[in-house]
Structure 1
Amino acid sequence: MKLANKIILALSCALLFCSCLGDLNTTPMNETDFTSENAYQNESSYLNALAYINGYYMLVGQTDPGENDLGFSDSGQSEFFRQWINLNEMSCDALKCVWGDSYLSELQNNSWSSTNDACVAVYTRAVKAIALVNEFLLQTEDDKIRSRGQEKILQTIAGYRAEARFHRAMFFYILMDEFGNPPFPMPENIGGDNPEQIQRADLFKWLEEELLDLVSDESAMPEKGAVPYPRPTKGSCWALLSRMYLNAEVYTGTARWEDCKKASKKVIDMGYKIHTPYADLFRQDNSESGAAEEEFIFAVAYDRVSTQSWGGSTTFNSASLNEDANKAIGAEFGFSKVNAENWAGYHVPAAYVEYFNLQEVEWNNSSNTFGYNRQTSDQRAFFTNLGCTETFSPSSQATGWLCWKWHGLNHDGSYAHDESTAGNWKLSSTDMPVFRLAEMYLNYAEADARMNNGTVTDGLAKGYVKELRERAGVSASTPAIITTDWFLEERAREFMWEGHRRVDLIRFGKFTSSDFPWAYKGGIENGSAQLSDHLKIYPLISSDLSVNKNLKQNPGYEQSK
């Protein structure tokens, strides 16, 4: 079992702190829950509390993964990480769904409102997570530690506090990226007044200062390797800064390319590695095999035993294939199926798959499971068009490409889903990356191109691109002159369904442009739509607006309160 998840097993007696943030209160869910009054009499409870914060990316409640604390009828759809990916991929050209749920249709037609379930899940869980961190910071101040007679653990607690602050920064970053001008709850709001609203540029400034403090020499934030994977370290902080600086012009109106290069290089120099083969990054045992620990700078750790969830990698394993494709791909590897289940929902439009330059593409050829030559194609491509028509339709399972980037195999080719394991064999144990070294490589290189009239000139940047392209088996097709525009396509290949696409398209000026169509953009089948610029951020959710009068809805959504 994963070491970090042994800690999270403590969730059976985890802390769920009382806090007051309008209708986003977090309160003990049963009589046996700890409260802030008695939680910290046992020194081990501090680590349990940190584990709960760390687990909030993927856990939906305190007991069964089928029961959630947001009141969603489908608990898997209430999970933060699943819906965060949906907001960033299904609103664009990379991910489509045929299930017909109204919130999914709204995402892929770019017609969402302030009650969209994905928006509600991401916003609510982010604000709740921030409240958990704020309460943790209040309860771990030096004076309170001393008052409990626990002076000997002050240094340890300082490290825990730094990790908690990173998580708070991560959730604030997501609110800034997705919702623009969110509420800004701080510890003083616990049990007090509703938080004020913060503007996007001001939140960027606060995040930058917070993260730079966490990476300073005086900080107690753990160095790389000082805490077990996948807990955050200074590398995680620099990686978040790298992503922020890459998109700083989107967030603040001012480009920060040089800062992006510097932050990326800080991470690169820490000793992370580009793991080969690429496929191992998304296998069921990606943490046990060493693939994730080598390349992932921060990740959400899933485990079918200790961090059970119907979201995250379980969704991407199960939702992406129909029964025929599941069986056919499984047979290619000597198994009856490649995934534990086949929900037959997620699809990839053909135009997106074209970025991978697949070789010898065929449609409706039952003798070719994949529909192309996998051996000679980009090794980041995990597709099948078995039994599908080329043009995606939201009303048909047999449409467009299917993807099996996440699947049920271990790195040695064995099948991970043991059906004799009662109750949890259908769930996935694949860790999901939030930041990985490949992103730092491409952030560095793109920033260099933008600093040099749209062309990569830095020898290190060229080397980073070469290393990634060699891993993908396509180094021979790398352009001699690497331009800024090339990075949008390369990032589509490298980071498919990892949550990058929306902000990448916004940064490149493509998200709302009619010159960049995709299937059902704006609800139009051929996607030749000009979207309103207000769609570059999501609306604040209506339930929070109704209870916190300090909040003003984002422009363009005023009628959706």
Structure 2
Amino acid sequence: MASCTGDLDQTPIDPDSFTETDVFANASEAKGALAKLYASLALTGQTGPAGNPDISGIDEGTSQFTRMLFSLNELTTDHAVVGWGDPGLPDLHAMSWGASNDFSTAMYNRLGQEVSFCNSFIEKATALNEDQQVEYFIAEARFLRAFAYYNLMDMYANVPLVTVVSTELPLQNTREEIFSFVETELLAIQDLLPTSGANEYGRVDQVAAWALLSKLYLNAEVYIGQNLYTESLTYSNMVINSSYSINTTDANGNGSAYDELFLADNDSNGAQNEFIFALNFDGNSSRTYGGTTFLVHAAIGGSMNAADFGVNGGWSGLRTTSALVSKFDDAITATDTDGYPVAWADSRAMFFTEDQNYNISTIANTFTDGYAVTKFKNVDSFGNQGNDEGGDFVDTDLPIIRLAEIYLNYAEATLRGGAGGNTNTAVDLINELRERGYGNTSGNINAGDLTLDFVLNERSRELYWEGQRRTDLIRYNYYTTAQYLWPFKAGSANGAATSAFRVLFPLPSTTLSVNTNLTQNPGY
């Protein structure tokens, strides 16, 4: 509405009202808005764990970012199956999804929302010009926006590039343009972010920009058809030489330094020193049915005791295939009467085998088909349950990028011919991870063992269920082809090749119906 005298330009008089003006009144208030940018990747709405969602069209808990990252990047691979029959969910492991799939649609919307939140924050915070803290906030928001676009590029390829708040229907950009934007942003903010280790836990510093550049360049041949392994090595080295370190702490002396990474006190037990970018969860103050609450509950069923995992029950959903279990065949220390492995020298082989079948006959509603995974728990290093006394919600933080991944990036980029890579250094880095897993040097390798397929299998052993696998298989040309098969790949019990267009997810049909500027990905 308009007025000649400005009488209609009113501000709320309710003393309890808190408006956009208040949010960006100063750096202290703006920090609360920055928290929302991180929270929109960890949580799902305004009330939590459910009831007032940020996006619609899908169950709120299911729509959480890392839960969908697991669904799209792990369930579509050899790492996981799920027995539930939610619409669109069985299609993921069968690799038969369409443009109306709830999960690929929700992920597109969730990432688009993150971009919108970041654009708004950057615009408003830029007007403050208050102090160094605000500059850090803006750089963090730019990192989170670049991270969202990295995922959009990885999963959907050609998406609109929007950097300002606008009501105009955006045009479609190419994957090359999105790649260039992510690269340019990360290079621009690397020196604007706090230095290595200088930020609060849970917030990113300059090492996160280097780490994402390491990932970006490692996948450049897939994204833009260019060999940028030398660049991947450059930024991998910068991360490796930063203040972050591989966690070798076994706080109680009864487990392993590896399992400390996925416990309820992983923000303080030493694991945090390895986490370059992590999403924080707390069973009382940040509740969601996604995140690690999902990873813990959904992986419990059959003869498993939920109390051992610090929760009140299992959801009898997630298991793994023999393809993942077999990656640990060199470390088997015991088998059952049928000859299937039940114990391993490598502590990273975190499987529950009692009353579980090694092979899968039926995915749907048969939790005992396939070994269960015990990687994530809601207990601390001393066995104490997380903060939620009811056992519903989990405290365990979830690493999105950790130093071990960058070690493996270095090794792979070296083998792929990146200039400056050193094979002996790559072997030493991988042996550091394997010594943590084995607890000694018995699993160490030498330069003759280091091949591209070995590195891929080592990524599987180290990073399974952390949202990486689909991208890795695509980089190796194993995702859709017959070169590598796993149980129920493409819906076949023994695995089968599928159409090459499956390396991308479709743009949502609902989005295409609204924005006619967009063209669907091939095959859909």
Aligned position for 2:381: 411
> Displacement of 1:158 after TM fit?
1.2
Aligned position for 1:199: 174
1:109 and 1:175 map into 2 onto residues whose CA distance is 22
2:387 and 2:118 map into 1 onto residues whose CA distance is 37
- TM-superposition CA deviations, 1:187-232 (whole Å, max 9, x none): 1xx23312221111221111111111111xxx42111222101101
Instruction: State which of 259, 267, 283 in structure 1 corresponds to 2:263.
Output: 283
RMSD of aligned Cα (Å): 2.3
1:167 corresponds to 2:135: no
> Displacement of 1:408 after TM fit?
2.5
Q: Identity rate of aligned residues, in percent? A: 35
AA aligned to 2:411 is A
1:347 and 1:172 map into 2 onto residues whose CA distance is 30
Range 40-49 or range 257-266, more displaced: 40-49
2:489 and 2:17 map into 1 onto residues whose CA distance is 46
> Displacement of 1:72 after TM fit?
4.7
> Displacement of 1:36 after TM fit?
3.4
AA aligned to 1:467 is E
Aligned position for 2:428: 463
Is the partner of 2:278 in helix, strand or coil?
Answer: strand
- TM-superposition CA deviations, 1:500-530 (whole Å, max 9, x none): 1101111111111113111211111111x22
> Displacement of 1:37 after TM fit?
4.7
Does the 8 Å contact 1:518/1:526 carry over to 2? yes
> Displacement of 1:39 after TM fit?
3.2
Normalising to structure 1: TM-score of the pair? Answer: 0.84
> Displacement of 1:486 after TM fit?
0.7
AA aligned to 1:550 is N
C-alpha distance 33-485 of structure 1, shift in aligned 2 (>3 A): farther
> Displacement of 1:387 after TM fit?
1.2
2:273 and 2:437 map into 1 onto residues whose CA distance is 17
Is the partner of 2:399 in helix, strand or coil?
Answer: strand
> Displacement of 1:42 after TM fit?
5.1
Structure 2: runs of 5+ lacking an equivalent: 1-14, 249-256
1:486 corresponds to 2:454: yes
> Displacement of 1:351 after TM fit?
2.1
C-alpha distance 493-404 of structure 1, shift in aligned 2 (>3 A): same
> Displacement of 1:69 after TM fit?
2.8
- TM-superposition CA deviations, 1:276-328 (whole Å, max 9, x none): 2111000111002231x21010001111122111101111111112152226x
Does the 8 Å contact 1:371/1:384 carry over to 2? no
Aligned position for 1:394: 363
Instruction: State which of 493, 500, 513 in structure 2 corresponds to 1:525.
Output: 493
AA aligned to 1:285 is D
Does the 8 Å contact 1:363/1:385 carry over to 2? no
> Displacement of 1:418 after TM fit?
6.2
1:140 and 1:516 map into 2 onto residues whose CA distance is 48
- TM-superposition CA deviations, 1:252-286 (whole Å, max 9, x none): 11111111111101011112111121110001110
Aligned position for 2:275: 296
Normalising to structure 2: TM-score of the pair? Answer: 0.89
Instruction: State which of 392, 405, 409 in structure 2 corresponds to 1:443.
Output: 409
2:200 and 2:88 map into 1 onto residues whose CA distance is 37
Aligned position for 1:351: 323
Number of aligned residue pairs = 494
1:308 and 1:283 map into 2 onto residues whose CA distance is 17
1:18-97, aligned counterparts within 5 Å?
34-41=18-25, 43-67=27-51, 68-72=53-57, 74-97=59-82
Instruction: State which of 369, 374, 394 in structure 2 corresponds to 1:428.
Output: 394
Does the 8 Å contact 1:363/1:389 carry over to 2? no
- TM-superposition CA deviations, 1:408-437 (whole Å, max 9, x none): 32112x231467x35xx3211111111111
C-alpha distance 468-89 of structure 1, shift in aligned 2 (>3 A): same
Instruction: State which of 454, 464, 476 in structure 2 corresponds to 1:508.
Output: 476
1:184 and 1:88 map into 2 onto residues whose CA distance is 23
1:258 corresponds to 2:242: no
C-alpha distance 434-32 of structure 1, shift in aligned 2 (>3 A): farther
Aligned position for 2:507: 540
Instruction: State which of 346, 352, 372 in structure 1 corresponds to 2:342.
Output: 372
1:209 corresponds to 2:184: yes
Is the partner of 2:522 in helix, strand or coil?
Answer: coil
